[in-house]
Amino acid sequence: MSGKAKSGRKSGKLATLVVTLFLVALTIVWTIPTVGVLVTSFRDSKDIFSSGWWTVLPHEGWQKTGEIQADASLDLDQPITLEGKTADFNTWRVGVETRPGHLLKWVGNKRTRTLEVDEKKWIGFGANLTLDNYKNVLSAGEIKYKDGQGNEISRQGSNFGDAVLNSLAVAVPATIIPILIAAFAAFAFAWMEFPGRKTVFVIVVALLVVPLQIALIPVLQDFTHLDINGTYLAMWLAHTGFGLPLAVYLLFNYISQLPRDILESAYIDGATPFVTFVRLILPLSVPALASFAIFQFLWVWNDYLVALIFLGDQNRVVTSALAAMVGDKGQDWHLLTSGAFLSMILPLAVFFALQRFFVRGLMAGSVKG
């Protein structure tokens, strides 16, 4: 082997190593914040305000072992002396190590006269993780938790469970309906001859560049005249109309590449266009159908603007519920992170269930063979 060939192979391996290391670093940088939010969603509300999410990893730290009451005769406006240590009130709030491995921390305001006793211990993985945050987010009743100072906070639950059901009631039909309509249209554009076929197809494709926002007011006026605004039907029709151009274009690219011999054999055997579509086209088009189903479901599930305009706040969906939580509970990170991950579970499940069809569907019509 010549020196140039060896040098080329070494350069290629080095380039591959550099690219691999870069991708690994990028993945880590991208993943760490997500992991932090996920861990935060399982942490106790009080712990979130006092320590970082990484403290769930095994480490040596302070662990509560009990509580004591300060003497009622103490003058809290002066430096406070406890167990031989003297400090002002704010320092006791942070915590004072009275002896090695023994910490006293004032809980709440001055009137409580309660001190938390902490001892330094080895803390294993996942200490103080809880499912209470998710229960509180899903609840519709009153919820209670403690803030960083140990004060008990009472709030109304976000009723996120109903929001998830409302989102399902919107997203599932709003995904299935445009897929069925677009599949019929794509089959007609690809394999059926009718007057104005090319012109109509160009118009449909041209609708891809029409911004969603400019159609909201006219559609809202029509829905108001029809007295369907604020209903699920309005959401289904809106998402169907806004999603059809992309669906028709994507499915046309795939269906038009199917072998003509299969369709001709079906017609020779006496199959009607409808039978051919149901028994041949749909089964063969599963990759393209699945690809668009991922796009459409994620778009509808994560939609906020269309839901706010056509559905309103009466039947609150996931995005509306999260927006309301930011307004009502913006400082309650344990609730916001839990709600965020509840909203992510179903879209992730849909994507991973259909991902094996995703690339094939997107590549439809890109290569002529």
Residues 6+ apart with CB under 8 A from 195: none
Tell me the pLDDT tens digit for each residue of 296-305: 999 999 998 8
Query: What pLDDT sits at residue 367?
Result: 45
Please provide residue 158's backbone torsions phi and psi, each rounded to the nearest 5 degrees.
Answer: -85, -10
User: Hey, which residues does 156 pair with through a beta bridge?
Assistant: 142
Listed in sequence order, the DSSP H helices in 96-157 are 132-138
Please provide residue 212's backbone torsions phi and psi, each rounded to the nearest 5 degrees.
Answer: -60, -40
Domain coordinates in residue numbering, the chain: 1-42, 59-123, 160-362
Nearest to 148 by CA among 108, 111, 91, 104: 108
CB-neighbour burial class of residue 103 (10 A; exposed 0-12, middle 13-18, buried 19+): buried
**SS3 state at 140:** coil
Query: What pLDDT sits at residue 368?
Result: 46
Nearest to 32 by CA among 53, 58, 48, 18: 53
Q: Are strands 114-123 and 102-107 parallel, antiparallel or unpaired?
A: antiparallel
> Quick one: CA dihedral 43, 48, 53, 59, positive or negative?
negative
Q: What is the C-alpha separation between 159 and 138, in angstroms, rounded? A: 5
Which 3-state string (H, E, C) describes 300-368?
A: HHHCCHHHHHHCCCCCCCHHHHHHHHHHHCCCCHHHHHHHHHHHHHHHHHHHHHHHHHHHHHHCCCCCC
Q: What is the C-alpha separation between 340 and 32, in angstroms, rounded? A: 16
Q: How many residues does the chain have?
A: 369
Query: What pLDDT sits at residue 361?
Result: 52
Residue 128: which region, alpha, beta or left (left: phi > 0; alpha: psi -120 to 50)? left
Global pTM exceeds 0.85: no
Distances (CA, A) of 58 to 49, 122, 197, 300: 19, 7, 66, 41
Residues 6+ apart with CB under 8 A from 341: 37, 38, 41
Query: What pLDDT sits at residue 248?
Result: 92
Query: What pLDDT sits at residue 354?
Result: 76
Tell me the pLDDT tens digit for each residue of 216-236: 888 889 999 999 988 899 999
Which architecture, in CATH terms, is 160-362?
Orthogonal Bundle (1.10)
E strand map for 57-128: 59-69, 80-82, 85-87, 96-99, 102-107, 114-123
- Mean pLDDT by groups of 10 residues along the chain of 369 residues: 62 83 91 85 77 75 82 79 84 85 83 84 70 79 64 70 89 93 91 87 87 86 90 92 90 86 83 85 86 89 90 83 71 78 85 72 49
Nearest to 183 by CA among 236, 249, 234, 238: 249
User: Hey, which residues does 302 pair with through a beta bridge?
Assistant: none
Number of H helices, E strands in the chain: 15, 8
The DSSP code for 43 is B
